[in-house]
Amino acid sequence: MSPTRVAALVLMALCAGAAWLDAHSPAAGALREKRPVWGLAALREQGRPDVVAPALYLLYHDPRRKTLDVVSLPPGVPAGPGKRTLADAYAEALPGGADAAARAMENAAAEALRAVPGWPADASGPLFSVVVPTPASARPGSPGRTRARLAAAAADPFLWLKARPTWEGAVLTRALRAVPPEGLRAARWPAPELAPAFAAYLAEGRATADKRGVVTVEVLNAGGPPGVALKATKVLRWAGFDVVHFGNAAAPEAATSATDRVGHPEAARRALSALGCPRAESLTALEPSPLTMASVTVGGDFASCARLRSDAGEGD
């Protein structure tokens, strides 16, 4: 038999095997039925795996909305009865090595997520755990950088082999590559009392509890020149937002951003668009009793917002 014929037969066998695995994959089945799938990603510091616990993220993909929520899971997230946390799960398993500790942390996170009241019952997962090495200087990093790092990792067709090879992981990484840039959404896991509301946010695309019509906003100057918060307030009010407070931020920020406080990320993004910087980062961080729906922080790059530049008119 010629080498060409052998290669063709091997290729056919591989394709047949892949088709069989796809047909029997819970992840592939969920995606064919347009049901959400979720997994976990661990960002590890390069060169210090035994010293620093990985930064853990929930990846929640909804094929109906073509969205991928990248949710940071702080070490203090409850991971069981009492006051046990993800950090505790990591520390308890650390004597067995960094890999065992990371696994224990991820397993604890998966159990904690499934136990949240209202967690989407039709969501399949966790399907895989991606380990993405990251420089110490980039950790924990901004939400935008984290999303970009995970998106770049998902673009690697061999990521699932480099991490923990499973067919489920291959299916999900393939699906993540199809998520458009505007479908990538950053969020932070909230306090325990807000976990059910956040689960609803993941399932429905927004928190269902908030029924406010007019978008209320606060504006904070964290790096722009004096008066830029007032200018942003005027621009936003002109665009129909109800700016209930403006002033200075507690600490300087290099980049302009917006934070969604109620589970309506589109409100935060609309505020950024009104200021002329639609590509600035936005983050969903639910609060128990937020004073506003969104908070806009004007950073040192304020000139990247077209309507905040010194040459922009007040009402343009």
CB neighbour list of residue 59: distance below 8 Å, 6 or more residues apart: 38, 39, 40, 41, 68, 69, 70, 71, 130, 150, 172, 176
* Cα 196 from Cα 186, distance rounded (Å): 18
Identify the weakest region by mean pLDDT among 19-23, 97-101, 203-207, 274-278: 19-23
pLDDT at 34: 85
Decide if pLDDT at 152 tops 70: no
Span 211-238, mean pLDDT? 90
What single DSSP character describes residue 103? H
Pick the CATH number of 216-304 from 2.40.50.200, 3.30.360.10, 3.30.70.2390, 2.60.40.10: 3.30.70.2390
Decide if pLDDT at 60 tops 70: yes
* Cα 125 from Cα 40, distance rounded (Å): 9
Phi, psi dihedral angles at 114 (to 5 degrees): -65, -25
The strand pair at 281-284 and 257-260 is best described as parallel
Residues of the chain with CATH 3.30.70.2390: 216-304
- Buried b / exposed e over 90-123, threshold 16 CB at 10 Å, is beebbeeebeebbbbbbbbbbebbeebeebbeeb
Decide if pLDDT at 150 tops 60: yes
- Give the pLDDT confidence of 156-193 residue by residue, as tens digits: 666 655 555 566 667 766 777 777 877 888 899 999 99
Indicate the angle between helix axes 167-176 and 3-23, nearest 10 degrees. 90
Residues in the chain: 316
pLDDT at 156: 66
Which residue would you say has higher pLDDT here, 292 or 35? 292
**Residue 262: Cβ-neighbour burial (10 angstroms; 0-12, 13-18, 19+):** buried
pLDDT at 161: 55
Beta-carbon-side half-sphere exposure of residue 306 (alpha carbons within 13 Å): 9
- Give the pLDDT confidence of 25-53 residue by residue, as tens digits: 667 777 777 888 888 877 776 655 556 77
pTM of the full structure: 0.82
pLDDT at 316: 38
